Amino acid sequence: MELAIFGLQSTAFPVTAALTGVLLVASALIIAWLVGPRSYTKKKGEAFECGIPTRGDSMAQYHVGYYLFAILFLMFDVETVFLFPWATICKNFGDKAMFAVGTFLVILVLGLAYAWKKGALRWK
């Protein structure tokens, strides 16, 4: 059985694609190593941010609430992405699909209620 792409056998195509990918990545790394600058100084090792010299410790600690809020946003944002295609063609589905999506929404609302109860949505 031949594929329409380059006339390769079906087993040879994935191997050829993988080898081509490895070869391209390796050649890019070798060229970057050969052409790249080699002078390392203490000044080049310093942290650089917007051309302004840093003062004090560069590591700043953030409140964990920012991370929790971001994770919750991503979680519900991804769930919305999963729900949108279903909502556009929901007329074609039967009772089993409606039950499955209802279960999905119940689990989603329970997760929101849990986060709300734990205070993850409250700014302090």
**What does the pLDDT look like over 84-118, one tens digit per residue?**
887 777 777 778 888 888 898 898 889 889 888 98
Predicted pLDDT at 11: 72
- What one-character DSSP code corresponds to residue 53? P
Q: In the structure encoding, which two tokens stand for residue 34, read together?
A: 């050969």
The model's confidence at residue 30, banded by pLDDT at 50, 70 and 90, is: very high
Predicted pLDDT at 34: 93
Where do the H-state alpha helices sit in the chain?
Answer: 12-35, 64-88, 95-118
Predicted pLDDT at 80: 82
β partners of residue 52: 49
- What one-character DSSP code corresponds to residue 9? B
Instruction: Compute the average pLDDT of residues 12-20.
Output: 85
Predicted pLDDT at 1: 46
Q: In the structure encoding, which two tokens stand for residue 93, read together?
A: 């589905």
- What one-character DSSP code corresponds to residue 46? S
- State pLDDT tens for residues 42-93: 877 776 667 666 676 666 777 777 888 888 888 888 888 888 887 777 777 7
The model's confidence at residue 7, banded by pLDDT at 50, 70 and 90, is: low
The model's confidence at residue 19, banded by pLDDT at 50, 70 and 90, is: very high
Q: In the structure encoding, which two tokens stand for residue 17, read together?
A: 């694609």
Predicted pLDDT at 22: 97
CB 2 within 8 A of CB 8: yes
